[in-house]
Amino acid sequence: MYRILLSVVSLFICSMTYAGQKVVNVSEAGTLAALLTDEEVGNVEDLKLTGNLNGSDIVLLRKMCGADRTVQGSLRYLDISEANIVSGGEKYGKNSFGDLYTQDNVLGDEMFTECSNLVSISLPKSAKKTGLFLFSFCSNLKKVEFPEVPELGYGTFEFCTSLEKIDLPKSITKVGVFTFGNLDNLKEVNMPSVTEIGDSTFVYCPKLEKVSMASVRQIGAKAFFGINSIRVIYLPANLKSINEYAFALCQNLGKIYSLSPTAPETAEDSFNDIDENCTVYVPKGSAASYKAARGWSKLNIVESDLTGINKNFTEQNIKVISRYDLQGRKQAKAAPGISILKMNDGSTRKVWKR
C-alpha cells in the first residue's frame, strides 16, 4: 500500500513539474541534453532556457517541438529570450544550399521550421539577424516575441496557419518575400517601422483585414494580391511606390485613404480587378496629381480632409462623431435630406436620407 501511495505521489509531482515552466541554465553550449531527463524531453510543455545554445541544443529543441517525427515531443511554449545562439555543435538541419549550422547571434535558416507543437516562442534578445523560412510550417504557432532585428527574411512565417495577429518591434524596417505567405487565419499585422514590404509578402492570407504600415515607403509586387477580406487600406504620407499587382484582385477593396499630397509612383496594374466602385480619398488640393498619375487615374479620386487621420483604422471601427446640414449647422441626430458626416478617422462623407 505504501509503495502504491508513493508511486501515486511521484506521478503527481511529475505532472506538476510538466504543468509549470521548466527553467534550465545551459552554461556550456551543447549540454542541454545532459540537463534534461528522457522523460522531460518527451513531456515538458513549457521551457525557459538561459545561457548558450549551439547546433546540438537546437537539434534537441526541434525534436521536443515536434519537428522530428521519430520523437514524441510535447514542447509548446519556449522562452529563449535570455539565451544566446552561438556557433558550434552538430548541424541542426539541411536544405538545398547545404547543411545548417548555428552562427553567433543569428536565428538561422529554418531553425524552427516544422516545429508543429510550438504555440509560443520568445526569441533571444541578443539575436541580430534572422534567416530564411525561420518558422515555416509551424502549424500551431500563435505568438512570437522578436528581438531588435532589422528585417524578416524570405518565408519567415509561411504556412503558419494558426497565426491570427502579428506585432513587429520598431526595429524591423523590412519584411521580405513571402514573409507572411499562406497564413489561413491571419487577421491583423502591426508594422510600425517597416519601410519596405517585399514581393508577395501577404499572398494567400484570405482573412487579413488590418495592416498598420505607418512608415512604409515601398510596397512590392503582389504584396496583397487577391486578398478579398481587405475592404479599406490606409497608405501613409511617405509612401513612394506601389509595384505591379500589389493590390490586384482584392475584389472587396472599396476605399483607399492615401495621405500623400503627391500620387505615389504606381504600376498600371497595381489596382487591377478591385471593387469597381472603389474610392480613393486624397488630401485636399492633390486630386490633380492622382488623376494624372499612372495606375491612379482609372480610380475614383475624391479630395477629403484627412488631417489627423489614424492609419490604424479599419472600416469596421470607423464611426460618425458629428453631423452637419449643408449650411454647416450641427445636427443632433440623422435628419431627412443631405448631411455631411465627420468620421473618427478624420474623413468626411456626404449622405442622403429619405
Distance CA 101, CA 88 (A): 7
CATH fold of the domain at 150-316: 3.80.10
Whether 82 and 61 have beta carbons less than 8 Å apart is answered as: no
Q: What is the predicted pLDDT for the residue at 234?
A: 96
**Residue 17: which pLDDT band, with cuts at 50, 70 and 90?**
very low
Q: Tell me the percentage of the chain whose pLDDT exceeds 70.
A: 88
The total number of residues written for the chain in this structure: 354
| Cell 499585422 -> residue | 189
Distance CA 48, CA 17 (A): 13
pLDDT, one tens digit per residue, over 196-238 is: 999 999 999 999 999 999 999 999 999 999 999 999 999 999 9
Q: How many CB atoms lie within 10 A of CB 336?
A: 8
Report the DSSP beta bridge partners of residue 82.
Answer: 50
pTM, entire model: 0.81
Domain ranges of the chain: 150-316, 319-354
Closest CA to 210 of 202, 218, 200: 202
Closest CA to 117 of 81, 189, 79, 69: 69
pLDDT, one tens digit per residue, over 56-88 is: 999 999 999 999 887 789 999 999 999 999 999
pLDDT, one tens digit per residue, over 273-328 is: 999 899 999 999 999 999 999 999 999 999 998 876 755 444 445 678 888 888 78
Q: What is the mean pLDDT of residues 160-173?
A: 97
Question: Three cell numbers at 166?
Answer: 502579428
Closest CA to 45 of 23, 61, 21, 67: 21
pLDDT at 12 over 50: no
The DSSP string of 93-127 is EEETTEEE---TTEE-TTTTTT-TT--EEE--TT-
| Cell 486578398 -> residue | 227
Q: What is the mean pLDDT of residues 116-143?
A: 98
Closest CA to 67 of 94, 47, 104: 94
**Residue 43: which pLDDT band, with cuts at 50, 70 and 90?**
very high
b/e map of 205-226 (b: 16 or more CB within 10 Å)? beebbbbbbbbbbbbbbbbbbb
Report the DSSP beta bridge partners of residue 256.
Answer: 233, 280
Q: Tell me the percentage of the chain whose pLDDT exceeds 90.
A: 78
pLDDT at 155 over 60: yes
Task: Give the sign of the dihedral formed by CA 51, CA 52, CA 58, CA 60.
Answer: negative
Q: How many CB atoms lie within 10 A of CB 307?
A: 10
Residues ≥6 apart with Cβ < 8 Å to 15: none
Average pLDDT of every residue of the chain: 90
Question: Three cell numbers at 229?
Answer: 477580406
